Each structure stands twice: as C-alpha cells, then as structure tokens.
C-alpha cells in the first residue's frame, strides 16, 4: 500500500486540529498514552494510522524503523501473530519529520476489550489465556511484548498483537534499543530527563518479567471497565506464574500506575496552556479526553 499522498493530507488535518483544538475533521480511533490513532479515509476508515512523536531528522526515523522491523520479526519468530504494519514519513517545512505506523483497520468487535465485553466472565475467553501464554513464553531480559488487552485482537481463533509502536527490546548490555526520548518528548521540557532516567526504565522493566507483565494486564482490566473479569483472569494467571497473584496486589499496583499516568496527562495539559497562551505557539500533540482509570 502506498499512502504517502494520503498521509500528507491527513497530517495537514492534524496540523489544523492542533492550531484550532478542533478535532472534528479527524476520525480518531483511539488514544494511547503517547500516540494517537487516526482512521483513513475519515468517512469510512480502512487504515489505522498511528501518529508518532515528531522525529528530529531522517537518521532517527530510520533507526526507529529498523528497531520496529526487528521487533516484529522477533515476536513472529517467537510465535506471536502481529498485524501487518508499515512506517510512513511526512517531511515538515522545519526539516523535522512526522511519521505514521499504518495498519489495516480491524473489525471493532474483534478487538480485545470488545471481545470480553461480549462474553461472560464465568465462561472465560481464550484470548486472555493466549495472551498469558505469549507473555510467559516471551518475557525475558532481551524481548517483551505489550500485553495490555487493548493491544490485542481475536482473529480466526488467534490472538493478534496490534501495537508495536513501542518495541520492547534490549541489547546484550541490557540497554533499551528504542530511544525512549522520542516518547518523553511529549512531556514538558523540564520533566523529560528525570522521567526518562527514573520512570521509563522501571516502567519498561515490567514488561520484561512475566509475572509483573501479567499483573499489569490484570490491573488494566479496571481501565477497560472489565473488573468483573478479574477473578477468572487471576485464576488463569496463577496457573502460569508464581508466587501467587492476589486481587489486593493487582489493585494496589494499578492504583499506583493510574496515579502516575494521570499526573503525566495533567502535566501535558498544563504545558499545552503554557505553550499556547504564554509562548504563543502551537502545542504539537493532541491530548486524550479524560480517562476513567477506575471503571468497574
């Protein structure tokens, strides 16, 4: 697929939305903690276009694309089915580069949260079990995957990973292969270094250990409004990891994570006000609406 011309049009619409704070011209399919997912074409989306933070130059974009490519190959080699993804660039007048990771739009009813909402927790769901099996098989010092339910779909009886924007890979020395500075660029300038130094490393480490990754999955069922699934999911988790995971541990860990991410969003909103009203310039990110992180 060659969507280069289409994405130039889409990026122009994004810039218009950033200037006006009016997103009505965009088909927003979802918000990540950092990235934004837009549908294209707007009227009847066929592609999910994940807009990444702005790259400073071609070398940094090429490096990111190379890491994503190896990450997808690594997951597939480990038995994970990954949705086809293609990286596109949109050069900007200032010399920097906007970029989109583009995937086919999947039916909404096949996405992980929709699958569980349509099912009965008493009956369980093979998607949950498949995700746990992948986590146990893959989580290691060198490779991990984003296990949260929203990052998966259930297609033809298989779990499909749909979010590879953040490649969780480390080299032989234990250093992250992805430059997470790309993603901390969404934070106010004064916060970027301390968050990258003291928060990101610990947050990413969660995914590289099977038990902590599964606790993260369980906690995020609250965010999805699927806490009724916790008894079943905890039981399945404890068949695969030790020591035993308890509901108290899940709720405590999730509450801490929810506070952290809520603080990050608040800082970004304050930075947007500062940039627009005081510095009189565009704030370069579209922010998510208020998220109910404690839905039951």
How much is the pLDDT for 296?
Answer: 45
Of 151, 194, 136, 145, nearest to 167 (Cα)? 145
Q: Name 104's bridge partners.
A: 47
Asked which of 44-53, 93-102, 243-252, 285-294 is least confident by mean pLDDT, the reply is 285-294
pLDDT digits (tens, 9 = 90+) for 139-156: 999 999 999 999 999 999
Give the domain range for residue 108.
4-278
Distance, in Å, from the CA atom of 291 to the CA atom of 256, rounded to the nearest integer, reads: 15
Query: Is residue 292 scored above 70 in pLDDT?
Result: no
Distance, in Å, from the CA atom of 265 to the CA atom of 245, rounded to the nearest integer, reads: 29
Per-residue DSSP letter, 118:
T
Side-chain half-sphere of 48: how many Cα atoms within 13 Å? 22
Torsion, CA 68, CA 73, CA 77, CA 81, rounded to 10:
80
Q: What is the model's pTM? A: 0.91
Of 150, 116, 147, 117, nearest to 132 (Cα)? 147
pLDDT digits (tens, 9 = 90+) for 111-122: 999 999 999 999
Q: Per the domain annotation, does 116 fall within a domain?
A: yes
pLDDT digits (tens, 9 = 90+) for 222-272: 999 999 999 999 999 999 999 999 999 999 999 988 887 787 788 788 888
Which residue would you say has higher pLDDT here, 207 or 263?
207
- For the four alpha carbons of 70, 73, 75 and 77, in that order, the dihedral sign comes to negative
Average model confidence (pLDDT) across the chain: 91
Task: Check whether the bond before 41 is cis (ω within 30° of 0).
Answer: yes
**Structural domains in the chain (count):** 1
Could you tell me the two tokens for 127? Answer: 């998607």
Which residue would you say has higher pLDDT here, 163 or 291?
163
Task: List all residues 6 or more positions away from 160 whose beta carbon is below 8 Å from its beta carbon.
Answer: 81, 82, 83, 106, 152, 153, 154
Asked which of 159-163, 219-223, 257-261, 287-291 is least confident by mean pLDDT, the reply is 287-291
Q: Per the domain annotation, does 210 fall within a domain?
A: yes
Q: Per the domain annotation, does 286 fall within a domain?
A: no
Q: Per the domain annotation, does 219 fall within a domain?
A: yes
Angle at 191 between CA 257 and CA 168, to 5 degrees: 55
Distance, in Å, from the CA atom of 282 to the CA atom of 107, rounded to the nearest integer, reads: 34
Asked which of 50-54, 65-69, 189-193, 285-289 is least confident by mean pLDDT, the reply is 189-193
How much is the pLDDT for 192?
Answer: 65
Could you tell me the two tokens for 99? Answer: 């970029």
Distance, in Å, from the CA atom of 8 to the CA atom of 122, rounded to the nearest integer, reads: 47
Q: Per the domain annotation, does 153 fall within a domain?
A: yes
- Contact between 101 and 164 under an 8 Å Cβ cutoff? The reply is yes
Residue entry with tokens 């990973």: 161
Pairing between β-strand 152-155 and β-strand 158-161 as defined by DSSP bridges? antiparallel
Q: Per the domain annotation, does 176 fall within a domain?
A: yes
Query: Is residue 193 scored above 70 in pLDDT?
Result: no
How much is the pLDDT for 283?
Answer: 82
Radius of gyration of the chain (CA): 19
Which residue would you say has higher pLDDT here, 183 or 2?
2
Q: Per the domain annotation, does 285 fall within a domain?
A: no
Q: Per the domain annotation, does 271 fall within a domain?
A: yes
Query: Is residue 295 scored above 50 in pLDDT?
Result: no
How much is the pLDDT for 227?
Answer: 97
Distance, in Å, from the CA atom of 158 to the CA atom of 161, rounded to the nearest integer, reads: 10
Asked which of 58-67, 96-105, 215-224, 284-293 is least confident by mean pLDDT, the reply is 284-293
How much is the pLDDT for 286?
Answer: 85
């Amino acid at each position: 697929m060659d969507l280069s011309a289409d994405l130039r049009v889409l990026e122009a619409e994004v810039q218009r939305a950033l200037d006006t704070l009016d997103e009505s011209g965009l088909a927003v399919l979802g918000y990540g903690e950092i990235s934004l997912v837009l549908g294209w074409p707007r009227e009847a989306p066929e592609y999910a276009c994940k807009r990444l933070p702005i790259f400073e130059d071609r070398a940094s974009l090429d490096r990111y694309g190379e890491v994503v490519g190896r990450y997808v190959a690594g997951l597939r080699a480990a038995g994970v089915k990954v949705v086809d993804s293609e990286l596109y660039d949109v050069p900007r007048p200032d010399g920097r580069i906007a970029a989109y990771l583009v995937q086919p739009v999947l039916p909404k009813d096949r996405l992980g949260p929709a699958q569980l909402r349509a099912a009965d927790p008493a009956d369980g769901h093979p998607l949950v079990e498949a995700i746990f099996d992948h986590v146990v098989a893959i989580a290691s010092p060198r490779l991990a995957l984003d296990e949260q339910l929203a990052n998966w779909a259930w297609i033809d009886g298989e779990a499909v990973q749909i979010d590879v924007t953040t490649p969780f890979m480390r080299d032989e020395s234990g250093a992250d292969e992805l430059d997470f500075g790309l993603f901390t660029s969404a934070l106010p300038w004064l916060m970027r270094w301390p968050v990258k130094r003291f928060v990101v490393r610990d947050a990413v480490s969660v995914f590289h250990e099977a038990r902590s990754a599964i606790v993260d999955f369980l906690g995020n069922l609250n965010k999805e409004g699927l806490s009724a699934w916790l008894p079943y999911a905890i039981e399945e988790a404890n068949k695969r990891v030790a020591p035993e995971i308890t509901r108290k541990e899940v709720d405590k860990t999730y509450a801490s994570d929810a506070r952290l991410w809520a603080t990050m969003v608040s800082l970004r909103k304050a930075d947007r006000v500062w940039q627009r009203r005081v510095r009189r310039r565009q704030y370069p990110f579209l922010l998510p609406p208020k998220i109910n992180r404690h839905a039951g």
